[in-house]
């Protein structure tokens, strides 16, 4: 019997953030027409929208995300540079204090990018909408799904347009992709249609941070570097990052886990930055001109919806990006995860023999494989803090003890640093850090760390004696 193929006339993407834009770009290769529906007003210039509170804070684009974006938009890396973003070798540009010292710098050959999220999104949006079969409708709120009589297939959505006059209408489609983020209403829509909502894993972290923009002096020796301070948990709980972005600006976000959040008043903000073990964060902002107010952001919990576990799911509907899984943003993996999920959808749609009833199951399995690594990494790190609650992966305490040794080893061995950054950038699985050869390097580097610690202790004791 001949396999029925999916009708590919019109696709709808719900949400015009990074996940939605990449999804639309992917779908444009497989559908005659793609329409992006966005609730907020979308302007041509870089700008944070009402529904994107996190876009005003620190963002970096991992190497895996930049590589995939360059695959779909070959001129994007040059456009980022031309617009003032900092694009370069991640390992050469890092000034990262962690576990008692700075990770060694080295040439890695993998480029990342630091820029404001609105700039990145605007450049991706320009290129997405330049494709002739993609259109964007902003000020359009999706009110619900439209299905066949037996509710087995989604055939469109009900929307409320909020332009000069408000009116409701139905938009038909062969495929609807929900990329509306953590606040996705798909679980609710599923139950209303008689389906089960996906099971959820929630890991409560109580992370909070505050962000501010400063004028950047291009002559600063670190003016092209991404600067981080991450804690040795659970002894430390505070983190900070200051990245160079377009228009000769710094963007700084400082905060912590388990309620140890940065204040938003001037004196408290500076004092919190001064408490971080990477002294350059405070040095820079104490001397630089502030360009914005201090803005707070709170992230109570990481959330993963297990669509891959559902036995029944309507045809013509998919879910992608933060609507599947939203991670602790301090690890910087959300955008890259969404981009890789969109790329996985591209590969599946290229297999034109995939039957309609198998599309969702096939995609959710592939998306789960993408999500597994960043979820494992972020949740594992979060469970270093005893205040973290939620489903704790088996063996995570033992794994964390070894990963702590990996962190320390990156201060002495660039090859360990290279392996660590590949995992962090979602280019290699965490198991790549556990080969016999790598474990030997980690052990040797930690021995060097212990020797250095003894030397420093002895020197301090000698100074006190004098």
197 lies in the same domain as 215: no
Interval 376-405: pLDDT, tens: 999 999 999 999 999 998 899 999 999 999
Hey, how many other C-beta atoms are within 10 angstroms of the C-beta on 288?
19
As given in the structure block, the two tokens for residue 446 are 């930690």
User: 442: Cβ–Cβ under 8 A, 6 or more apart, which residues?
Assistant: 402, 405, 406, 409, 413, 416, 433
Asked if residue 453 belongs to a domain, the reply is yes
What's the sign of the alpha-carbon dihedral 456, 457, 462, 464? Answer: positive
Report residue 161's pLDDT band, with 50, 70 and 90 as the boundaries. confident
285 lies in the same domain as 348: no
Angle at Cα 265 formed by Cα 259 and Cα 271, nearest 5°? 70
195 lies in the same domain as 76: yes
Give Cα separations from 209 to 31, 74, 119, 273, 299 (angstroms). 41, 34, 21, 11, 9
Listed range (35-44, 183-192, 245-254) with the worst mean pLDDT: 35-44
Instruction: Assign 3-class secondary structure to 269-324.
Output: HHHHHHCCCCHHHHHHHHHCCECCCCEEEEEEEEEEEEHHHCCCCCECEEECHHHC
Evaluate the omega torsion of the peptide bond into residue 425 and state whether it is cis, within 30 degrees of 0.
Answer: no
Q: How far apart are CA 42 and CA 360, in angstroms?
A: 29
* 230 vs 456, more confident: 230
The arithmetic mean of pLDDT across residues 86-93, rounded, is: 95
Do 8 and 28 meet the contact criterion of CB atoms below 8 Å apart? no
pLDDT(52) > 70:
no
Listed range (52-66, 189-203, 227-241, 422-436) with the worst mean pLDDT: 52-66
321 lies in the same domain as 423: no
The arithmetic mean of pLDDT across residues 338-349, rounded, is: 96
* 234 vs 166, more confident: 234
pLDDT(429) > 60:
yes
340 lies in the same domain as 433: no
Rounded mean pLDDT of the chain? 93
Asked if residue 428 belongs to a domain, the reply is yes
pTM: 0.92
Q: How far apart are CA 68 and CA 61, in angstroms?
A: 11
Given 333, 351, 379, the domain boundary residue is 379
Q: How far apart are CA 34 and CA 11, in angstroms?
A: 5
pLDDT(185) > 80:
yes
User: 63: Cβ–Cβ under 8 A, 6 or more apart, which residues?
Assistant: 90, 110, 111, 112, 425, 427
pLDDT(149) > 70:
yes
Residue 169 per-residue DSSP state: E
Residue 303 backbone dihedrals phi, psi, to 5 degrees: -135, 130
Asked if residue 335 belongs to a domain, the reply is yes
Asked if residue 92 belongs to a domain, the reply is no
The arithmetic mean of pLDDT across residues 27-48, rounded, is: 92
- Residue 280 has, within 13 A of its CA and on its CB side, a CA count of 19
pLDDT(2) > 50:
no
Q: What is the residue range of 432's domain?
A: 396-465
245 lies in the same domain as 366: no
Burial of 415 by CB count in 10 Å (0-12 exposed, 13-18 middle, 19+ buried)? middle
The arithmetic mean of pLDDT across residues 353-358, rounded, is: 83
pLDDT(167) > 80:
yes
189 lies in the same domain as 289: no
* Secondary-structure percent of the chain, ordered helix, strand, coil, rounded to 5: 40, 25, 35
Asked if residue 385 belongs to a domain, the reply is no
The arithmetic mean of pLDDT across residues 239-268, rounded, is: 97
List the one residue out of 221, 233, 297 whose CA is nearest residue 261: 297
Q: How far apart are CA 21 and CA 16, in angstroms?
A: 6
Do 364 and 308 meet the contact criterion of CB atoms below 8 Å apart? yes
206 lies in the same domain as 177: no
pLDDT(3) > 60:
no
The arithmetic mean of pLDDT across residues 8-29, rounded, is: 96
Listed range (243-252, 319-328, 333-342, 348-357) with the worst mean pLDDT: 348-357
List the one residue out of 396, 191, 225, 140 whose CA is nearest residue 312: 191
Q: What is the CA radius of gyration of the chain?
A: 23
The pLDDT assigned to 4 comes to: 46
Given 299, 326, 360, the domain boundary residue is 299
The pLDDT assigned to 219 comes to: 87
Domain holding 292: CATH number?
3.30.9.30
As given in the structure block, the two tokens for residue 160 are 């409320």
Interval 199-225: pLDDT, tens: 999 999 999 999 999 999 988 999 999
pLDDT(81) > 70:
yes
The pLDDT assigned to 131 comes to: 97
77 lies in the same domain as 184: yes
Q: How far apart are CA 399 and CA 158, in angstroms?
A: 47
Given 238, 268, 299, the domain boundary residue is 299
Strand partners, 239: 255
List strands edge to edge, sheet with 86-89: 60-61, 111-114, 86-89
Number of domains into which the chain is organized: 3
Asked if residue 323 belongs to a domain, the reply is yes
pLDDT(284) > 90:
yes
262 lies in the same domain as 322: no
Domain holding 355: CATH number?
3.50.50.60
The pLDDT assigned to 55 comes to: 76
Residue 104 per-residue DSSP state: P
Listed range (15-29, 118-132, 160-174, 215-229) with the worst mean pLDDT: 160-174
Asked if residue 107 belongs to a domain, the reply is no
pLDDT(456) > 70:
no
258 lies in the same domain as 327: no
293 lies in the same domain as 430: no
Asked if residue 108 belongs to a domain, the reply is no
Q: How far apart are CA 13 and CA 169, in angstroms?
A: 16
By percentage, how much of the chain surpasses pLDDT 70? 95
Q: How far apart are CA 263 and CA 425, in angstroms?
A: 30
Helix, strand, or coil (residue 426): coil
């Amino acid at each position: 019997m001949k396999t029925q193929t999916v009708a590919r006339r019109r696709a709808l993407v719900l949400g015009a953030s990074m996940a939605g834009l990449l999804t639309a770009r992917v779908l444009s290769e497989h559908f005659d027409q793609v329409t992006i529906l966005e609730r907020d007003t979308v302007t041509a210039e870089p700008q944070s929208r009402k529904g994107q509170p996190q876009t005003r804070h620190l963002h970096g684009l991992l190497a895996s995300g930049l590589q995939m974006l360059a695959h779909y938009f070959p001129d994007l890396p040059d456009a980022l540079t031309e617009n003032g973003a900092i694009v370069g070798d991640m390992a050469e540009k890092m000034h990262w204090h962690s576990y008692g010292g700075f990770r060694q710098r080295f040439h890695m050959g993998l480029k990342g990018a630091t820029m404001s999220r609105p700039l990145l999104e605007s450049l991706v949006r320009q290129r997405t909408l330049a494709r002739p079969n993609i259109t964007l409708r902003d000020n359009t709120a999706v009110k619900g799904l439209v299905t066949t009589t037996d509710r087995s297939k989604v055939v469109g959505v009900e929307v409320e347009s909020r332009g000069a006059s408000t009116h409701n209408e139905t938009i038909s489609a062969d495929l609807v992709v929900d990329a509306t983020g953590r606040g996705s209403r798909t679980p609710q829509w599923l139950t209303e249609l008689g389906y089960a909502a996906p099971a959820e894993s929630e890991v409560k972290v109580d992370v909070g941070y505050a962000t501010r923009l400063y004028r950047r002096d291009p002559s600063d020796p670190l003016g092209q570097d991404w600067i981080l301070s991450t804690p040795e948990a659970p002894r430390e709980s505070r983190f900070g990052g200051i990245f160079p972005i377009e228009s000769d600006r710094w963007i700084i976000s400082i905060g912590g886990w388990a309620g140890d959040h940065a204040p938003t008043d001037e004196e408290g903000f500076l004092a919190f930055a001064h408490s971080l073990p990477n002294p350059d964060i405070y040095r820079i902002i104490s001397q630089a001109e502030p360009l914005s107010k201090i803005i707070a952001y709170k992230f109570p919990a990481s959330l993963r919806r297990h669509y891959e576990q559902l036995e029944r799911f309507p045809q013509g509907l998919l879910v992608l990006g933060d609507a599947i899984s939203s991670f602790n943003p301090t690890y910087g993996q959300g955008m890259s995860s969404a981009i890789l999920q969109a790329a996985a959808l591209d590969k599946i749609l290229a297999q034109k023999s995939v039957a309609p009833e198998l599309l969702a199951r096939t995609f959710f399995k592939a998306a789960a494989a993408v999500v597994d690594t960043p979820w494992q990494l972020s949740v594992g790190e979060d469970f270093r803090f005893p205040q973290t609650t939620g489903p704790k992966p088996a063996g995570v305490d033992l794994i964390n003890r070894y990963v702590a040794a990996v962190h320390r080893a990156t201060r002495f061995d660039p090859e360990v640093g290279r392996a660590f950054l590949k995992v962090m950038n979602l280019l290699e699985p965490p198991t790549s850090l556990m080969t016999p050869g790598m474990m030997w390097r980690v052990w040797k580097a930690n021995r060097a760390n212990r020797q250095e610690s003894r030397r420093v202790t002895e020197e301090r004791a000698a100074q006190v004696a004098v």
